[in-house]
Amino acid sequence: MRSFLEYLNETVLMEANVANGQAIDAYVAAWMKKTPLAQGKAWLKKKLRTFLLNEPKYLSQIDPENRPDEIPDYAVQALDRGEAVYLFDPAGKVSELNQPLQHIIDWFDAMNRTIEAGPDDMNDMATEDFRLTQKEVEKLQKVNMDQITATADAWFNHMGTRLRGVKKEVSGAEIIHTWPDGFYVVRYTEAQTMKMDGRDLQNCLQHGNYWDAVRTGRNQVFGIRKPNDEAVVGMRTSKIRKGTAEHGSAEWELEECKGKANKPPIQQYIPYVIDFLKMMDNIDIEGSSDLEAAGVFFRDGTFGSFDDISELVFEGNGIVIRRSD
């Protein structure tokens, strides 16, 4: 087992020998812009940056014989001394962090909203939320990268647990379904509520787009929300004209299914999307490019995750092979 001193020396060496640390700084800064929570920004600046500087998976070692022209003097000198020097590629494997980091940003935003709402002398639940969140924020800088997702999930699960069995009412929307963990889906009945969720989603709903079509019955807009009422998925359907044979018995057609910033919903929320759409059997979703982009698969008239709709071909020795025609 390595001693702490050996680990420290290795860590310092790797940080010192990343030739384009400014690329990591830019990557981290882009994520910092996504949350208003000051403590969240501080966590990203320190913990995410340190993680990226010391995670070989996201760094490529420079070949001394084919070194890039544009590297700083300290990197050139390190190569000349025979030391390993690395480059960070913001467009490489680090893209696999996009979904977990977005989940973390969602958590930061949810905590920020809870803190801004403050305690409520008339609402014990809101006061408990505030105090719990304050404690989480205070100890945030002690949470490392390998702990952060579990910490966020524990916070959300706590919120969901408290809401189980509680009849929830929301202004400006009809609750269609509530899941056991406190997530729920709404259909918007007032423009202001849709705009508010559009701000969460950072998309055109915040400007009231489609509301005229909703008001006149030509569109429906749904939102999937976390237990703390933050919208994480938006879906829009359009009314199908009667007698349109290709849609069968469906009354509505899915036009859009988006996560934040008009991107596909992240994987944590796909099970809610699938479950909701299976409940709503009057919505035609066949061939939806948004669902396909989000990792929802179609086969033989059904849909779901790849595991849901694929056929098991082989399983053994730790290997699983599935097929979807």
Answering whether pTM is above 0.75, one says no
Q: Write down the pLDDT at residue 30.
A: 94
By C-alpha distance, which of 158, 150, 275, 262 is closest to 224? 275
Per-residue pLDDT of the chain (325 residues; tens, 9 = 90+): 444 334 334 444 455 588 888 899 999 999 999 899 999 999 999 999 999 988 888 888 888 888 888 888 888 888 888 888 898 888 888 888 888 898 899 889 888 888 888 887 776 777 888 888 999 999 999 999 999 999 998 888 776 555 444 445 778 999 999 887 778 999 999 999 999 999 889 888 989 889 999 999 999 999 999 887 889 999 999 998 765 545 556 789 999 999 988 888 888 898 899 889 888 888 888 778 888 888 787 665 566 666 665 566 566 656 656 565 5
Around Cβ 149, how many Cβ atoms within 10 Å?
A: 16
Structure-block tokens of residue 240: 């199908």
pLDDT value of residue 83: 87
The answer to whether residues 195 and 184 touch, using CB atoms and an 8 Å cutoff, is no
Residue 176 amino acid letter: I
DSSP letter assigned to residue 48: I
Beta bridge partners, 312, equal 322
> What is residue 167's predicted lDDT score, i.e. its pLDDT?
46
What span, in angstroms and rounded, lies between the C-alpha atoms of 227 and 225? Answer: 7
Q: And the tokens for 165? A: 């069995």
Are 180 and 165 in contact by the 8 Å Cβ rule? The answer is no
According to the model, what pLDDT value does residue 240 have?
A: 87
User: Look-up: residue for tokens 């290709």?
Assistant: 246
CA separation for the pair 218, 254 (Å, rounded): 12
**pLDDT the model gives residue 290:** 87
Cα–Cα distance measured from residue 203 to residue 155, given in angstroms and rounded to the nearest whole number: 26
CA 68 to chain centre: 35
pLDDT in tens, 225-268: 988 788 999 999 999 876 554 555 678 999 999 998 888 888 88
Q: Which of 139, 135, 143, 151 is nearest to 50 (CA)?
A: 143
Check residue 140 and give its pLDDT: 95
Q: Which helix (H) or strand (E) holds 254?
A: strand 252-258
Spell out the domain ranges in the chain.
Answer: 4-99, 100-163, 173-289, 295-325
Can you give the pLDDT at residue 243? 56
What CATH class does 173-289 carry? Answer: alpha beta
Cβ burial, residue 204 (10 Å; 0-12/13-18/19+)? middle
* Type of residue at 78: A
Helix residue spans in the chain (DSSP H): 4-16, 21-32, 38-43, 49-53, 73-80, 98-117, 124-138, 145-163, 191-201, 211-215, 270-279, 289-293, 306-309
What SS3 class is residue 135?
helix
User: Would you state the structure tokens that stand for residue 107, as one six-digit string?
Assistant: 């958590």
> Measured between alpha carbons, how far is 177 from 235 in angstroms, rounded to an integer?
14
Residues in CB range of 302: below 8 A, 6 or more apart: 308, 309
